[in-house]
Structure 1
Amino acid sequence: MNTRYPLLLGLAFAVFWSILAVSPVSRDVWWAENIPVMAVFAFLAVSYQRLRFSSLACTFMAAWLFLHTVGGHYTFAHVPFGWVTDLFGFQRNNYDRIAHFSVGFYAFALAEYLQRKRLAHPAVVLAFSLASVMAVACAYEIIEWWYAALEGGEAGVEFLGSQGDPWDAQKDMLADTLGAVFALVVFVAREKRGALLSAQGE
């Protein structure tokens, strides 16, 4: 692992987060969206030396932190994403789908950790990593519903971010799952490449 890369990535994110913490569209929504961001970042910051993720795993995990921070600043439904909406003829702002897709990237880091520690068979590692992301996705949708119902008003609507789609929660969970599948495909490809290079070096 490149020990400097996580530090530089963390510093870049801290600066980025600090800039977008200034004058968000809705401070109430900003707090709701940034509590998980701050919690995840704090955990990664204090444990990076012990967990020792690869640079690729760090990059994958940082993707969600950056994307979610942008969503927290603007509220997901109002992130300047109109050019994508117009390009593909979407009926809604799909920035939140991209952010949800990046949630799945954490499956890569989880699989990497489990594989390095040899805590399970490789097939179980992949299945557990995928199921973990799906469980987190489900839990987050429940939290969104709970917060929206409790907060009510404009802040609740903006945090929920359904934009009138009755299947928004299900589509968000699907995006999380597809992101995890993508990340695990990359993980398997990297592991196979590493095994091939090791075999060639013997």
Structure 2
Amino acid sequence: MTTANDKLVLEFKGRTFQKILLVIFTAEWTALAIDPVYRPEWLLENYLVFAFVLFIFISYKKLQLSDLSYLLLTIFMLLHQVGAHYGYMNVPVGFQIRDIFSLSRNPYDRIVHFLYGALLAYPIYEMLKRYGRQTGAWLYILPISFIITFSATYEIIEAMVAWVLPEKEYDPFVGMQGDIWDGYKDMLAAAVGAIISTTFILCSDLRNKNKS
């Protein structure tokens, strides 16, 4: 598996691991798209997915990433599709976690927000390192900044949806579950995930530097 430190194989036909990831995501997306619990929410949750996947295909030759980055992106997308299918506040495994830890709400959305920061920090780090030519502290500060910015932007999009749609359509999408601070907590979860992930990246880079 290639990482941010490895030279990449430019041709897609030579990247078997990425083909496997594509097949897995396509299979899950197709299965969960057939009969989602609430189609309007599924569509709202997938608009950004369509745009993101389209961006990856269009920019693939110029902005390729390592196998590790694509693996982390795929894991997040798989988790997101589960939330889109059931509705984030109605994912069955979330209710199981709620009952085990005696929580007041289904925590699946909060967990995915945390993993959003934790999983996407590395691909952003790699893009900055490989194409942005960033070095030093900025290589570790900017991924956290981008994660917080993207998370805040998503919360703004959710708020805009809440303004224009009927309650029965926007409430499952926003998924506040009665918590007026839900959006802020989601952003905090993403930021914490990004900080933890970036800290591991920094420690790994320092260890590799000391070895060399």
Could you say whether these structures have the same fold, taking a TM-score greater than 0.5 normalized by the shorter chain as the test?
Answer: yes
Would you say 1:177 and 2:171 are equivalent positions? no
- Give the distance between the partners of 1:189 and 1:41, measured in 2 at CA: 31
How many residues were matched structurally? Answer: 198
The RMSD of aligned alpha carbons is 1.7
The Cα of 1:118 is off from its aligned counterpart by: 5.7
**Residues 107 and 184 in structure 1, CA contact (< 8 A), matched pair in contact too:** yes
Aligned pairs for 1:6-85 within 5 A: 6-80=18-92, 81-85=94-98
Change in Cα spacing, 1:27 to 1:168, as seen in structure 2 (3 Å) is same
Query: SS where residue 156 of structure 2 aligns?
Result: helix
When residues 121 and 191 of structure 1 are mapped into structure 2, their CA distance, relative to the original with a 3 A threshold, is: same
> Which position in structure 2 is the counterpart of 1:101?
114
Q: Which amino acid is the alignment partner of residue 91 of structure 1?
A: S
Equivalent residue, structure 1, for 2:172: 158
Distance 2:59 2:207 in 1: 28
Matches within 5 A, 1:90-129: 90-104=103-117, 105-117=119-131, 119-129=133-143
Match of 2:162 among 144, 148, 153: 148
C-alpha contact 1:114 1:125 (8 A) present in aligned 2: yes
Q: 1:183 to 1:42 in 2, by over 3 A?
A: farther
Instruction: Give the 3 Å change call, closer, same or farther, for CA 193–55 of structure 1 in structure 2.
Output: farther
In the alignment, the residues of structure 2 paired with residue 179 and residue 45 of structure 1 have an alpha-carbon distance, to the nearest angstrom, of 27
- Distance in 2, Cα, partners of 1:191 & 1:50: 25
1:49 is displaced (CA, Å) by 4.2
Greater CA drift, 147-156 or 113-122: 113-122
SS in 2 for 1:122: coil
Does residue 1:89 correspond to 2:102, yes or no? yes
Unaligned 5+ segments in structure 1 are none
Amino acid at match of 2:189: A
The letter for the 2-side match of 1:140 is: Y
Amino acid at match of 1:89: S
How far apart, in 1, do the equivalents of 2:51 and 2:209 lie? Answer: 35
Which range is displaced more, 105-114 or 9-18?
A: 105-114
| Structure 1 residue 65 displacement after superposition | 0.6
In structure 1, how many angstroms separate the alpha carbons of the residues matched to 2:89 and 2:100? 17
Identity %: 32
Q: Secondary structure at the match of 1:119?
A: coil
8 Å contact from structure 1 (residues 138, 173) kept in 2: yes
What SS does the aligned partner of 1:50 have?
Answer: coil
Q: State the alpha-carbon separation in 2 of the partners of residues 181 and 57 from structure 1.
A: 17
Amino acid at match of 1:101: F
Name whichever structure is richer in helix by fraction: 1
Which runs of 4 or more aligned residues in structure 1 lie more than 4 Å from their structure 2 counterparts after TM superposition?
A: none
- The TM-score with structure 1 as length reference comes to 0.90
Relative to structure 2, which stretch is displaced further, 3-12 or 66-75?
Answer: 3-12
2:144 corresponds in structure 1 to: 130
